[in-house]
Structure 1
Amino acid sequence: MDAPGIVFVLNGPNLDLLGLREPGIYGHATLSDVEALCRSEAEAFGLRLRFHQTNAEHEMIAWLHEARTGAAGIVINPAGFSYAAYPVLDALRMCDCPSIEVHISNIHRREADWRSRSIMTQVVTGNVAGLGVQGYALAVRYIALLAQGIQ
C-alpha cells in the first residue's frame, strides 16, 4: 500500500487498558487521549494518521506491511512485543520509512532485566522512553519534520 503523508501509530499488547493498567507506571491517559494527541500533532503538519492497537502479533505485522513503502513514518510502541516478537521485528526491518520506538515508561529503569531490552531498537530510526504519553507526540513531530526535509 502506498501511504504518502500518513503516519502510522501502532500500539502493542495491553495498551488498550492504558489509563487503567498500572497508572503508577503508565499514567492516567487513555489510548484515546494518546490518539487525540498524535492526531493533533500530525494534522498540524498536514499529515494523516493511522492509529491502531492490537494484542495479536499478526495484526501488528499486517499494519507494518501496509506502512512498508510510502508512509511518512511509523511510531510504534511494541509493548510486550518488544522482548520476543521476532516476526514483528522482521516486518519492521522491511519498512522503508523512518520508525520511532516509543515507550511510556523508561524501560531501562524497569524492575526486571528482561524488560529493559527491546529487540526492536536494533532496526528503528530512534526511540523515546520514559516521557509518558508525550513521547508519542515527540515521535510524530520528528517524523513530520523528516517528511518536510528538516532534520
Structure 2
Amino acid sequence: MPRPAVAPPARKVPLRKLLRAASVACGVQFGLVWLCGPLSGLLVQPLVGHLSDRLAPASPLGRRRPFIAAGAASIAAAVLTVGFSADLGRLFGDDITPGSTRLGAILVYLIGFWLLDVGNNATQGPCRAFLADLTGR
C-alpha cells in the first residue's frame, strides 16, 4: 500500500523580515487606493454639480434629490461589492487554495473602492447645493 505524500515542512521566516516585505506591497496598495479619491473628485463633483444645476426644477424630486439618491445607491452597491469581493473573485475564477494570489478579488475590491469614492463625490456636491437651495441664497 503506497504511503500518502507528505508536504515538506514549511521554512520559518522571521516576523521582522515578513513585515519588511509586506510593507513594500502595503505602500504600493495605499498609493493606488488613495489616488482614486482625488481623481474621482476632480471629475465627478464638477460634472454632477453642472448636471444638477441644469436639471429642470419642475421635477417632482427637485434638482438635487435624484443625484443624491443615485449617489446613495452607488455607495450601497460599493459597500456590498467591497464586502463580498472575495466571493465575487471566486465567481470570476479565483483559486481558493492557500497561497494563491486571488487577483479577481483584488480587482473587485479596487473597483468597489473606486465606486465608493465616485458615489461619495456624486452625493457630496448635490448635498451641499441642496443646503444652499434651502437657505435661499
Using the size of structure 1 for normalisation, the TM-score is 0.23
Report the structure, 1 or 2, having the larger helix content. 2
Report the structure, 1 or 2, having the larger strand content. 1
- The structure having more radius of gyration, on CA atoms, is 2
